[in-house]
Amino acid sequence: LYFSTQEGILFFYHIKDQQYEMKICTDILQPISSLIFSPDYTVLLLVTDQGTVYTYKPAHNGEVVKLLDTCSSCFLAADFLTPGNKYCVSVTISGEVQVWILEDGTCLSKLNLDIEVNET
């Protein structure tokens, strides 16, 4: 079980039977608004309130990499494009939808919806 705090700390709870062990995975120093696992559960997207998206790879010694950072408009949500986990899609509060390569954060395409997006 992975969960985050408003302080930007990502925790992992290993639960077995009625016992558990808690581990701090990373501290990105920004409030995390959402966590999304890739379809094969090898990569976790961490989306922050301040417009940054990180990737976290549990199998690679908990490697955290800043993937996307925006200054003009904060990311509202991000998710993986399936099948696979090579690409992700994000939407900003200003209504810009973007497709990214997860490996290096390259933006492949953008679509402006010309409308402000809200979380529901």
> How many CB atoms lie under 10 A from the CB of residue 102?
21
Over residues 2-15, the mean pLDDT reads 88
Q: Check whether 73 has a pLDDT greater than 80.
A: no
Classify residue 117: in a domain, yes or no.
no
Q: What is the CATH number of the domain that holds 24?
A: 2.130.10.10
CA nearest neighbour of 101 among 88, 90, 111, 83: 88
Residue 69: give the domain boundaries: 2-112
pTM tops 0.75, yes or no: no
Q: Which residue has the higher pLDDT, 50 or 111?
A: 111
The yes-or-no verdict on residue 72 having pLDDT over 70 is no
d(CA 49, CA 51): 6
Residue 118 lies in a domain: no
Domain-embedded: residue 99:
yes
As for how many domains the chain has, the answer is: 1
- The string of pLDDT tens digits covering residues 76-87 is 788 888 887 889
